[in-house]
Chains A and B, each alone.
Chain A
């Protein structure tokens, strides 16, 4: 079974731009969660989608948004990029809703904001 995939793997943007990241979960997994990983803050939860609905949201500004499609693929969007948004963005999929189930992480998208 193919693992979680994320595209693109690397992105370089400038301040003020917007960016869209994509995540394809493991086949059969209906839940997708997004995390931001930085050296200073570690892994921080952004949001979780299940059955095309956002179920949980972390403490991030409204510039961070996402959506999930009927095939469970998910996208994350960051608008008006700031230097502090530079990070590794990881998505994770699980079979069921809620983070009580094992989450399988993708390889991440490394975003650099200049």
Chain B
């Protein structure tokens, strides 16, 4: 089945700096890559997603890049703010869902230092 590795597990950045979280996946058939943000005690919420026919997608301060050849995708957050502090999960999904459904990475705890 699909396996998603996510790094780093913890990331601390100064407010205003950029943060980058990286994920790799194993199944070349995967073609949907969402990113979820989970604040403490709250439900995961989709912040951005990308499909395999697109190399990059941007939404204000958040961007995601996808390299299908290398089977990795990354989340970029620019001009970080205190409210960006949360756990971020990447995920991968194959067409039709497959037996693995959405396969998540283990998460990155992003800490924004004031």
Known A59-B1, A99-B93: A45·B103 in contact at CB below 8 Å: yes
A43 engages B89 (CB within 8 Å): yes
B102 engages A99 (CB within 8 Å): yes
A57 to chain B, nearest CB (A): 7
Whether B98 sits at the interface, judged by CB under 8 Å, is yes
Residues on A with C-beta less than 8 A from B43 are: 4, 90, 105-108
Most B CB atoms within 10 A — which of A47, A99, A102, A106?
A99
B93 to chain A, nearest CB (A): 4
Select one of A42, A58, A98, A105 contacting B95, CB under 8 A: A98
A45 engages B89 (CB within 8 Å): no
Most B CB atoms within 10 A — which of A47, A103, A108?
A103
Residues on A with C-beta less than 8 A from B34 are: 102-103
Q: Which range contains the number of A residues in contact with the other chain?
A: 20 to 34
A51 to chain B, nearest CB (A): 14
Closest to B1 in A: A59
A42 to B27, CA, bound (A): 19
A56 engages B44 (CB within 8 Å): no
Residues on A with C-beta less than 8 A from B99 are: 56-58
B101 engages A99 (CB within 8 Å): yes
A102 to B44, CA, bound (A): 12
| A-B pairs with beta carbons under 8 Å apart, 10 shown | A42-B104, A42-B106, A45-B103, A90-B43, A97-B97, A98-B96, A99-B97, A102-B34, A102-B49, A103-B102
